[in-house]
Amino acid sequence: MKKMYEVPGFYQNRPGKVIELCEYLTKVMNEIHGTGYSFRFWVILLEDYAWLCVNRELQMSEQIIRSRPAITPINGWELPNWKDRWRERVRQMAKAFYKGNSMNKINNILEVNKNICVGIRGKELERFGLGTYCPAYYNISSFILDTGLRKKLKSIAESEDSIFRKNVILQLPRYYVEDFKKNISKINLFEPHKKIFHAEHLSGMMDLIIALYLEHGAKYYLYQLGCNFGEKVGSPSPITYIKIDKLRTFGWKIHDKDEPHVAYRLEQFSRCYKEYKTNEHYDICIVYNQVNIANKKSYKKISELFFKKIEYKKYPDIILRPRGYTRKMNNSGQLRYLNKPERISIDRGMRPIHELVKASRVMVHLNIPSTNFLECVYVNHPVVAICNVDNPTEIVKPYYRFFKEMHVFHDNMESLVEHLNSVDLGSWWEKVTGYPMYKEFKHKFARKVKN
């Protein structure tokens, strides 16, 4: 079956479809729960699910899906199968057991603090003096579907002509349906109009806490987490600006809600990079994004070209880095399908990326934008990349041209390998980092934190 990413204009039309679907689901959710929460409230909760539904629109438009709804939205272009649902259940229970925290603890933090740092780098935001860190709460979802709520959803679905919308309603994850009232009842409000949430990527029940507090007057400051933002047209998406009061960027400004700030994530990388000591050595480390049905063939093609053309006398030690999900899971299997020479190794994807950067002479990226590219620039570590973004923002175009002129960016793997084979890495990189344009890029897209 054809995938949505193969449909012409899909990526341009996707943000509008997500917003439209969230508007529709706002009415559905308020109806089944007997609430009157705002569009913004439900966008904060439902955005992830709406993106996934739009990504799977062709599959979800074929026939009614009979499988049980997932606990939370499960990422991927394909519809989740029973194994995916089982993994999600195990993952949720593990997080609840190891990271669960208590809502009493969280409510105590909310009660006595005005500036609250949340998300996967909430502790880092606290480290930089932005507020007090508040951990996420992980609940255990009900094993039993709520018959009354599911009957309401079934009734709404039956009134719809669109199979896609029927499935969107019938497959609403339990987090939004069975768990909603139980979870929201655990949240206490303490002078919400005086609160500011400082956040990066949210986890657990933090989206619900923020949504409820914003509904009563709190502010939501989002901090740039990585690449894409500011470099690709439409990123951040329009839906991001519906949720937030301010986006603190790595240094750039496009939207009225953007505030040029500093790169806290890159500063964290820099600190770890400088402190890390290693006896490992690699000449080249090639970094892969998550391998999926959209990029698997292209990764195989360009990787085999690299394996064939690179001069091994000059670069004898090469390692491939798969996308890491957790430090407890070996992710090397993602790249086993590549026909690599035995002399090239595959990292397990479990360790922090700064360890490989520190151990490697040069990093090679197969996609731009890339967060690790920005990390390398932040610490002035040699890096090259294939620049395959087809819709860069106007503010980044001059810098992309500069990087192409300096052979940091390449249009294809042939050009990248030819450059590596012919260049003296040390003198070339010293020349690159000395240009005013390079320093301007750092100030706008990887702005230094002043210590």
What are the extents of the domains in the chain? Answer: 13-219, 274-446
The set of residues, in sequence order, having a beta carbon less than 8 Å from that of 259 and lying 6+ positions away, is 246, 247, 248, 249, 253
Diameter of the chain by CA atoms? Answer: 70
Q: Per residue of the chain (451 residues), give pLDDT as tens.
A: 677 778 888 888 999 999 999 999 999 999 999 999 999 999 999 999 999 999 999 999 999 999 999 999 998 888 888 888 888 888 888 887 777 678 999 999 999 999 999 998 999 999 999 999 999 998 888 889 999 999 999 999 999 999 999 999 999 999 999 999 999 999 999 999 999 999 998 988 999 999 999 999 999 999 998 888 999 998 999 999 999 999 999 999 999 999 999 999 999 999 999 999 999 999 999 999 988 887 899 999 999 999 999 999 999 999 999 987 667 778 898 899 999 999 999 999 999 999 999 999 999 999 999 999 999 999 999 999 999 888 999 999 999 999 999 999 999 999 999 999 999 999 999 999 999 999 999 999 999 998 6
Q: Which residue has the tokens 């739009």?
A: 54
Of 138, 58, 43, 47, the C-alpha closest to 97 is: 138
Of 206, 244, 201, the C-alpha closest to 224 is: 201
Separation between Cα atoms, residue 144 and residue 69, nearest integer Å: 11
Q: Is the pTM of this model over 0.85?
A: yes
Structure tokens at 142: 């009900």
What was the pLDDT predicted at 119?
Answer: 94
Main-chain dihedrals φ then ψ at residue 367, nearest 5 degrees: -145, 140
CATH topology of domain 274-446: Rossmann fold (3.40.50)
What was the pLDDT predicted at 326?
Answer: 66
Separation between Cα atoms, residue 227 and residue 353, nearest integer Å: 15
Q: Where are the alpha helices (DSSP H) in 56-162?
A: 57-60, 82-99, 103-112, 122-127, 147-158
What was the pLDDT predicted at 84?
Answer: 86
Of 368, 436, 362, the C-alpha closest to 404 is: 368
Q: Where are the alpha helices (DSSP H) in 367-412?
A: 371-378, 397-405
Separation between Cα atoms, residue 301 and residue 286, nearest integer Å: 14
What was the pLDDT predicted at 1?
Answer: 66
Give the count of beta carbons closer than 10 Å to the beta carbon of residue 158: 10
Separation between Cα atoms, residue 87 and residue 74, nearest integer Å: 10
What was the pLDDT predicted at 367?
Answer: 94
